[in-house]
Amino acid sequence: MMLATTLVKRGALGLALASLAGVAGAKLPPPTPEAQLKAAESAARSAWAGKVDAYKLCQAQDRAAAHYRRTAADARPAAATAACTDPGPFSFTPPVAKPPETAAAATPPVAGAAASPTASAASAAGAAAPAAGASAAPAPKS
């Protein structure tokens, strides 16, 4: 009897975990424009924070090198390095939304294209016809 209840509990637990795995693997809806804007701003802010951190590190390295050159008797002169560049204050300009294009507007018409598929098939057949005096071998059918 004890074994049966243990198996039932394990089976129920396994079934619950399997159903949760199905829910976790479900496809999420696409983010809203507001969520995309917030994500873009967050990415820009973290990139700016990285630049600020690099600027502060550059300044600290310059101060440490200057202190070493002042205090050490055998210090060599400073090598030419790039100056630290200040990233400035954070500013975020949201990207401009593009108007959606239709499929017809996205592909411009080709010059000299036929208006109907039958006309283009006829012109293709005429272009494939051999010139006068050339051998007229039958074309393979596809």
Query: Residue 106 domain-assigned?
Result: no
Pairwise CA distance, residues 41 & 95, whole Å: 10
Given this model, what pLDDT does residue 48 score?
97
- Mean pLDDT, contiguous 10-residue spans, the chain (142 residues): 73 77 78 94 96 97 92 86 92 79 59 53 50 55 60
pLDDT value at residue 106: 55
pLDDT given at position 5? 74
Would 47 be classed as within a structural domain? yes
Q: How much is the pLDDT for 79? A: 84
Domain membership flag for residue 57:
yes
Expressed in percent and rounded to 5, the helix, strand and coil fractions of the chain are 55, 0, 45
pTM for the full predicted model: 0.48
Look at residue 62 in the predicted model and tell me its pLDDT. 93
Residues 20-27: contacts with CB under 8 Å, at least 24 apart = none
pLDDT of 109 reads 59
Residue 63 placed within a domain: yes
Closest to 94 measured CA to CA, from 42, 32, 47: 42
142 lies in some domain: no
pLDDT at site 104? 54
Of 90, 87, 66, 86, which is closest to residue 78 (Cα–Cα)?
A: 66
Note the Cα 49 to chain centre separation in Å. 21
| Range(s) of the domain holding residue 48 | 34-70
Q: Cα–Cα distance between 59 and 65 in angstroms, integer?
A: 10
Structurally, how many domains does the chain consist of?
1
Residue 13 lies in a domain: no
pLDDT at 84 (0 to 100): 94
